[in-house]
Structure 1
Amino acid sequence: MTKDKVSVEVFAPAKINLCLHVTGQLENGYHLLDTLVAFADIGDVITVSSTGPGALAVTGPEATPELSSDNNIMWHAAQKFWHPDTYVSLALEKHLPMASGIGGGSADAAATYRGLLRLRAALEGQDIPRDPTRQDAHDLLEIGADVPMCVLSEPARVRGIGEQIEPITDFHPYPIVLVNPRVQVSTPSVFSQLATKQNATIEPWPESFEDRDAVLDWLSAQRNDLQDAAVGDCPSIGDVLGALSAHETCRLARMSGSGATCFGLFDRVHKAEAAAEEIRAAHPNWWVQSGRLNGGRRAAPQLIRSTT
């Protein structure tokens, strides 16, 4: 007798902190942030399946042995959001560098969560919830501060420790180049070197995000408060920023998150692709990708059925 194997494939887009202001610190050590995030069409691919053996298979150009361990953040999501007596298998096609400031692990956990909801809906004949429940939102934040925003995978202003998310509906999908110098930066070390953790919030929002040039001008006046400390820890981040800024068509070059990945924003796709090609040729050991800030368009889980 045959039966259907049900799987769900989910794209996990890279999270880009277009600006990141550190505005305080709680007694428990968590930092308060004010950040504008957007998501690139560059990312990992997650598959969740309703069959055994309950393992995590990792492939892709950025796969490493430690990603297959039981401590992978994807398993943390599965343990919270899947019935413990029911098999689920996970697969990760890894394209984003680890510990690189673009939310790779958080994006994978968020995609796992979205995939599990879609899988459960398919198996039980239910509708897919539009938004996380209050309990789910709490559990997602416990997995990681970036996970709730990665579940949304849309442009948003995010404040607090990551729980205050204000979506932006009219953000332009700017062409982008992502560059990582193949180094990992210690986030605790970067935060510990901040001169102050009581910095100004993001300046008042533009009246509309539809004016591409005005938004880029506004973004240029914002900051990543972690950038200088990260460059002090890892001078090659400064080299990356210099390589991006050297292209006269690059409208803004900045580090994302706590590094080491940096981004360059452009006003045309062909300009971003040309810049990426030149940087890749000059620095063959760097990770360099070009795309657009419209990753949310690919983030909807895709149901796959096969007969076994």
Structure 2
Amino acid sequence: MRLDDIGFAKLNLALHVRRRRADGYHDLETIFAFTELGDALSVAPAETLSLTLAGDFAGAVPPGPDNLVLRAAQALDDGQGRGAAITLEKRLPIAAGLGGGSADAAATLRLLNRLWNLDLPLGRLAEIGATLGADVAACVHSRTLRGEGRGEALAGLDDAGLAGTAVILVNPRVAVPTPAVFARWDGEDRGPLAEGDPIATAAAGRNDLEPPALTLAPVIGKVLDALSGVKGAQLVRMSGSGATCFALVASDSAAEAGAEAISSANPGWWVAATRLR
């Protein structure tokens, strides 16, 4: 028996950094959205836990015990000694602002919950995920959410206006480590994220990590310019701590045409057209 799932790519439609906390983390306000695109994971019964890596970006993934997939499996197992053969096909670039590792951990929790017949609700899986990383809880749900605190305090949003929206993702194949970006944040609180409709809220918001990320990887500015030039682009922004940027686009055909044009003009970049879930 083999079970399959997707570690859906995470987007921050808006990301406000409010303050640095005493525990070293930052208080955030964000709107999470998820795309249909992601890493592919599968699990099968086995006597011990193991992880096999494949895919275009597998070489950049740590294979040892620090891998978030194995950490998620161990957290869910909670010392019971269950086994599983886990395969991760890494399709998303790493250190890219797409929450790839977090999404993979979340998919592992969902898959092993089924394989091991634990029957835990998503809420409990999200609680376990929150112990692994700030974005893992949101990735367990993989739906449009408002996140606060470190990103783990979640509230559902009406995503009827977002689901199915065409989106272009572009990464210049430059890894931007999250700690380095936060280290360059200027510390200024530029105000809260508004409440209400997620599209309007996102459009009125910002990504406070975009300026410090640009100092580390100026090519992000070129990516944003390329996305802004796509016909039908409605919201163009960097996701998370970068370097992936996105454009919400008026139609699938416009997204596909825009992605093709950007890819042709910048053959070294990773470019994908997909839709929001």
TM-score between both structures, scaled by the size of structure 2: 0.93
Closer/same/farther in 2, CA of residues 52 and 176 from structure 1, 3 Å limit = same
1:73-88 → structure 2 map (5 Å cutoff): 73-82=68-77, 83-88=79-84
| In structure 2, C-alpha distance between the alignment counterparts of 1:85 and 1:32, rounded to whole Å | 36
Query: Displacement, 1:191?
Result: 1.2
Instruction: Count how many residue pairs are aligned between Structure 1 and Structure 2.
Output: 274
* Counterpart check, 1:193 vs 2:184: yes
**Alpha-carbon contact 1:34-1:201 (below 8 Å) kept:** yes
Deviations along 1:179-202, one digit per CA (max 9) or x if unpaired, are 000001121221122222433111
* Cα deviation 1:191-226 (Å, max 9, x = unaligned): 1222224331112323xx6xxxxx3x5432210000
1:142 alignment counterpart:
131
The amino acid of 2:189's aligned partner reads Q
Give 1:130 deviation, angstroms. 3.0
Segments of 5+ residues of structure 2 without an aligned counterpart are none
- Which deviates the most, 85-94 or 47-56? 47-56
Deviations 1:242-274 (A, max 9, x none): 110122321111000000000011111100000
State the Cα distance separating 1:52 from its structure 2 match: 4.2
Q: Which one of the candidate residues 50, 72, 79 is aligned to 2:67?
A: 72
- Within the candidate set 162, 172, 192, 1:172 is matched to 162
Residue number among 243, 249, 252 corresponding to 2:235 in the alignment: 252
Of residues 50, 59, 80 in structure 2, which corresponds to 1:55?
A: 50
Structure 1 residue ranges without an equivalent (≥5): 1-5, 210-214, 295-308
Distance 1:266-1:112 versus aligned 2 partners, 3 A rule? same
8 Å contact kept, 2:144–2:157? yes
Higher relative contact order (CA 8 A, sep 6+): 1
Q: Confirm or deny that 1:112 pairs with 2:108.
A: yes
What is aligned with 2:262? 279
Which residue number in structure 1 is paired with residue 24 of structure 2? 29
**Alignment CA distance shift 1:202-1:248 (3 Å):** same
1:90 alignment partner in structure 2: 86
SS in 2 for 1:67: coil
> For the residues of structure 1 that align with 2:89 and 2:34, how far apart are their CA atoms?
18
Residues 35-55 of structure 1 deviation map (CA, whole Å, 9 limit, x = unaligned): 001000110011122114532
After superposition, where does 1:186-225 map in structure 2 within 5 Å?
186-206=177-197, 215=199, 218-225=201-208
> How large is the Cα RMSD of the aligned pairs?
1.7
Structure having the higher Rg: 1
- 1:152 corresponds in structure 2 to 141
